[in-house]
A and B are shown apart, each in its own frame.
Chain A
């Protein structure tokens, strides 16, 4: 069965510092991978997704993630944190094959705090 693990339920960085949020997946074949962001009291917003050949994926708000098959990882990064980046971030995985029955499996989330 597919699974996704997010290391660190809470991450704190200073404004202007590098943001690194970790995500590892478990799958027998390279899956589809996603990062979502959730601001307080709101739904989840898609940040970026990996679905094809390009292993470095750029998303909104300056975030990017790199798919590394050898490490089964899809870590999210941003070179310089901004106060507005404070939110909860979810990694998710979906099987590449299986058609319409596929569902997204979510990690437990990482709460990012940005200190001034």
Chain B
């Protein structure tokens, strides 16, 4: 089935560690996104990519990094510079303007600092 797969579902990070969240899509979508969700704050955009080998910072990019080496993959690294990384992370993709910029989400990944 076509969709967006995020892994792992749950991840624990120790202080000072970098961790990487995986996001893979087989929808042949050009654009991919990473959002962070905290209770009461809705979704905030971390990074997005409109095309392979290109990506832009969103509203809260500090302490995060991404790569887009393949169309179907958009991994997010949470670095030790991110001081409050505990949150629910959502990956999404979109076919682009032809769909009215509709985006489709994965099931999310929980990251907890221990």
Contacts and interface: CB of A to CB of B under 8 A. Distances in A.
Interface of A: 9, 32, 34, 36, 41-46, 49, 51-52, 90, 94, 99-104, 106-109
A102 B100 CA distance: 10
B100 to A, nearest CB: 3
B105 A100 contact: no
B45 interface: yes
A103 B40 contact: no
Contact of B45 (A9, A90, A103, A109): A103
A9 B96 CA distance: 30
Contacts of A52: 100
Given A90-B43, A100-B30, A106-B43, 8 more contacts: A32-B100, A44-B43, A51-B100, A100-B96, A101-B50, A103-B33, A103-B48, A108-B40
A6 to B, nearest CB: 9
Nearest to A98: B97
Contacts of A45: 105
Contacts of B4: 43
Contacts of A106: 42-43
B30 to A, nearest CB: 7
* Chain A CB within 10 A, most for which of B6, B43, B48, B110: B43
B interface, size bucket? 20 to 34
A19 B109 CA distance: 30
B42 A107 contact: yes
B45 to A, nearest CB: 6
B108 A43 contact: yes
A5 to B, nearest CB: 11
B18 interface: no
Nearest to B97: A99
A44 B106 CA distance: 8
